């Protein structure tokens, strides 16, 4: 399929209109493609006026709107969808990762060290940041040591983050910045840090980057998000992840540039020193950690890990969970927690049940609290989440990356515990709101890959239909931030959408078969089978303004 194109109109009347048109009145007609709109399943065209969708229909109807349109976009078969939402992103770390060394594809420790040495040589005099290593994919089966890092980078300050961002390896030059790190919980003596030691290392690196560098990283992350068709991202910041000042920087960027909408959360117990009024926080949620991660063996388990004599670490107990939930509920804020291990889930849900006794079920349901990751819930925990209206902010890429037989989860936990992880299908059937995200930079900003991962979950009974998975990555993210209306293209809705080049479509019978409602006339989605190419984003529009346009087609205004 060829790229879609901007229609040219050369009469003097049109040129005069183009000179005076404003962002609030600009009429953009897209036609000749497919528009994903459940209300109009066979739509091929859409008209937006300013920041709203004005009309959706077929090309015959589009002909009547073309004379009054300021811009006509010939889609040439391209697909128009609601913009995706990523419900769990770390924008600062994502932006820095885009400028750093990606070790996720390395096949051995030796390969990683060789790449690190080359990176250090080409970035002399700078703080070195590498990320994404996973020793379970290396032939040596172990992390690098500080001595090995020093041989690769010399006296450079280097921070080498594991793929899950819950542990890292540091250079001796970084350790010299704060030798007390060796006295903190989580110092392993060989340069590997986790828990408190890891938080201290992150604090050091935050101080080494200038305000301008942080703003550049945030801009890079938002630009990248828009290029992936993401019109909204949930920034789940926390004291151990990035500075609170990032929120102000993000607001300043949004004031001058069209970017993906940022929904801010701060993962601090009872909010810490956060300014709710000034920073627009929806809640004290996100990465307020009850435990850690499976890969770093810090996720808290009832039984020891299969490959190490530890059961992980519990950072918050049920009493603290209950206190935080009550505190947020009474203030009409969303509470939320990072929770992965089975014991951590037990403690978390016990905390919610304790909170119910103080504020009641109805208040908790109205608050729409969140659990991030929620990878190991029991069937009882799933039912409790549904009963209490708790959103599951989950990452399908985790299952795609680590959920298969012999992959990381099975290595760490054994097949019996790994097999039922990430039960998206069970959660969906229970009525839990699913909000898909990436946890970027842990996994890439790639929403179609997330939809595919949920459709082809390693456990067949936990797979979602394409329509349910797509909904979780669009409407689900809005519902997670307590907006039940957004995320659908229909007249009166926000003109917030993405345009995609699609090389492979599902045959119509399979569209109906895979629909959440096989009896309904449903819009078609791309063919997401693993052997098919994923759609490519051509344009991203947020409230009528263009945030990304691969071909400069002028579908909206790019500044505010």
Mean pLDDT of the chain: 92
Taking only the tens place, the pLDDT of each residue in 85-124 is 999 999 999 999 999 999 999 999 999 999 999 999 999 8
How high is the pLDDT of residue 258?
Answer: 95
DSSP assignment, residue 465? Answer: P
Residue 410 corresponds to which tokens in the numbers above?
């099975």
Q: Residue 210's closest CA among 116, 127, 329?
A: 127
The string of DSSP codes covering 302-335 is SS--TTSS-----SS-HHHHHHHHHHHHHTT-EE
Neighbours of 297 (CB within 10 A): 23
**The pLDDT of residue 159 is above 60:** yes
**The pLDDT of residue 510 is above 70:** no
CATH code that applies to domain 214-480:
3.20.20.140
Kindly tell me the burial class for residue 306, based on how many C-beta atoms sit within 10 Å of its own C-beta (0-12, 13-18, 19 or more).
Answer: middle
In the chain, what's the furthest Cα-to-Cα distance? Answer: 78
pLDDT band at residue 520 using 50, 70 and 90 as cut-offs: low
Contacts with 123 (C-beta within 8 Å, 6 or more apart), sequence order: none
CATH code that applies to domain 92-208:
3.10.310.70
To the nearest whole percent, how much of the chain has pLDDT over 90? 87
Q: Confirm if 340 and 294 have CB atoms less than 8 A apart.
A: yes
**The pLDDT of residue 25 is above 90:** no
- For residue 220, the SS3 value is helix
Q: What is the average per-residue pLDDT within 422-438?
A: 99
Q: Confirm if 541 and 528 have CB atoms less than 8 A apart.
A: no
- The full set of domain ranges for the chain reads 5-82+489-549, 92-208, 214-480
240/196 Cα distance (integer angstroms) = 9
Q: What is the average per-residue pLDDT within 176-183?
A: 96
How high is the pLDDT of residue 273?
Answer: 77
238/378 Cα distance (integer angstroms) = 27
Tokens 């004031």 appear where? 255
Are β-strands 71-74 and 5-7 bridged in parallel, bridged antiparallel, or unpaired? antiparallel
pLDDT band at residue 280 using 50, 70 and 90 as cut-offs: confident
How high is the pLDDT of residue 274?
Answer: 77
DSSP assignment, residue 487? Answer: S
**The pLDDT of residue 524 is above 90:** no
How high is the pLDDT of residue 19?
Answer: 31
CA-based Rg of the chain, rounded to a whole angstrom? 24
Q: Residue 355's closest CA among 345, 365, 342, 341?
A: 365
pLDDT band at residue 23 using 50, 70 and 90 as cut-offs: low
pLDDT band at residue 504 using 50, 70 and 90 as cut-offs: confident
How high is the pLDDT of residue 484?
Answer: 98
**The pLDDT of residue 559 is above 70:** no
How high is the pLDDT of residue 554?
Answer: 54
Taking only the tens place, the pLDDT of each residue in 369-391 is 999 999 999 999 999 999 999 99
How high is the pLDDT of residue 275?
Answer: 72
To the nearest whole percent, how much of the chain has pLDDT over 70? 90
106/218 Cα distance (integer angstroms) = 26
Q: What is the average per-residue pLDDT within 465-489?
A: 98
Residue 417 corresponds to which tokens in the numbers above?
């515990």
Neighbours of 530 (CB within 10 A): 9
How high is the pLDDT of residue 307?
Answer: 97
Taking only the tens place, the pLDDT of each residue in 185-219 is 999 999 999 999 999 999 999 999 999 999 999 99
Q: What is the average per-residue pLDDT within 521-542?
A: 93
Taking only the tens place, the pLDDT of each residue in 290-322 is 999 999 999 999 999 999 999 999 999 999 999
Q: Residue 93's closest CA among 287, 300, 283?
A: 287
Give 5-82+489-549's CATH code, choosing from 3.40.50.300, 1.20.1260.120, 2.30.40.10, 2.40.50.140: 2.30.40.10
How high is the pLDDT of residue 84?
Answer: 99
């Amino acid at each position: 399929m060829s790229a879609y194109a901007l229609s040219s109109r050369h009469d003097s009347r049109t040129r005069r209109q183009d000179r005076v048109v404003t962002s609030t009145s600009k009429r953009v007609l897209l036609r000749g493609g497919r528009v994903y709109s459940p209300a109009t399943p066979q739509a091929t065209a859409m008209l937006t006026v300013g920041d709203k969708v004005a009309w959706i229909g077929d090309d015959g109807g589009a002909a009547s709107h073309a004379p009054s349109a300021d811009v006509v976009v010939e889609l040439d078969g391209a697909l128009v969808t609601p913009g995706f939402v990523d419900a769990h992103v770390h924008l600062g770390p994502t932006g820095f990762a885009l400028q750093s060394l990606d070790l996720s594809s390395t096949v051995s420790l030796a390969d990683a060290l060789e790449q690190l040495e080359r990176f250090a040589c080409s970035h002399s005099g700078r703080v070195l940041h590498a990320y994404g290593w996973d020793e379970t994919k290396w032939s040596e089966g172990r992390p690098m040591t500080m001595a090995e890092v020093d041989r690769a980078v010399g006296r450079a300050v280097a921070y080498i983050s594991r793929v899950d961002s819950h542990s890292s390896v540091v250079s001796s030059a970084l350790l010299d910045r704060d030798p007390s790190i060796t006295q903190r919980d989580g110092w392993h003596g060989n340069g590997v840090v986790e828990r408190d030691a890891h938080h201290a290392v992150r604090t050091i690196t935050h101080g080494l980057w200038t305000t301008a560098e942080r703003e550049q990283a945030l801009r890079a992350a938002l630009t990248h998000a828009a290029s992936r068709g993401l019109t909204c991202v949930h920034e789940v910041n926390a004291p151990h992840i990035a500075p609170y000042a990032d929120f102000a920087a993000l607001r300043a960027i949004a004031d001058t540039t069209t970017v993906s909408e940022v929904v801010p959360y701060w993962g601090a117990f009872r909010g810490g020193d956060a300014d709710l009024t000034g920073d627009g926080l929806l809640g004290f949620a996100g990465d307020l950690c009850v435990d850690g991660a499976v890969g770093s063996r810090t996720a808290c388990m009832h039984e020891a890990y299969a490959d190490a004599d530890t059961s992980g670490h519990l950072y918050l107990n049920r009493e603290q969970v209950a206190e935080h939930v009550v505190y947020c509920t009474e203030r009409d804020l969303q509470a939320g927690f990072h929770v992965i291990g089975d014991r951590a889930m037990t403690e978390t849900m016990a905390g919610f049940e304790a909170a119910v006794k103080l504020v009641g079920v109805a208040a908790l349901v109205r608050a729409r609290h969140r659990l991030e990751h929620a990878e190991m819930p029991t069937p009882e925990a799933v039912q409790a989440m549904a009963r209490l209206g708790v959103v599951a902010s989950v990452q399908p890429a985790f299952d795609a990356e680590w959920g298969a037989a012999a992959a990381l989860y099975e290595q760490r936990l054994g097949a019996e515990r790994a097999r039922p992880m990430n039960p998206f299908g069970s959660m969906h059937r229970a009525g839990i709101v699913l909000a898909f995200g990436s946890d970027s930079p842990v996994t890439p900003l790639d929403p179609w890959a997330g939809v595919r991962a949920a459709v082809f979950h390693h456990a067949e009974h936990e797979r979602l239909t394409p329509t349910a998975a797509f909904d979780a990555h669009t409407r689900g993210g809005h519902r997670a931030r307590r907006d039940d209306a957004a995320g659908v293209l229909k007249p009166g809705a926000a003109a917030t959408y993405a345009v995609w080049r699609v090389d492979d479509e599902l045959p119509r019978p399979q569209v109906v078969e895979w629909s959440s409602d096989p009896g309904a006339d449903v819009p078609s989605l791309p063919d997401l089978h693993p052997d098919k190419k994923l759609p490519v984003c051509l344009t991203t529009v947020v409230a009528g303004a263009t945030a990304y346009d691969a071909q400069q087609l002028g579908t909206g205004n790019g500044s505010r």
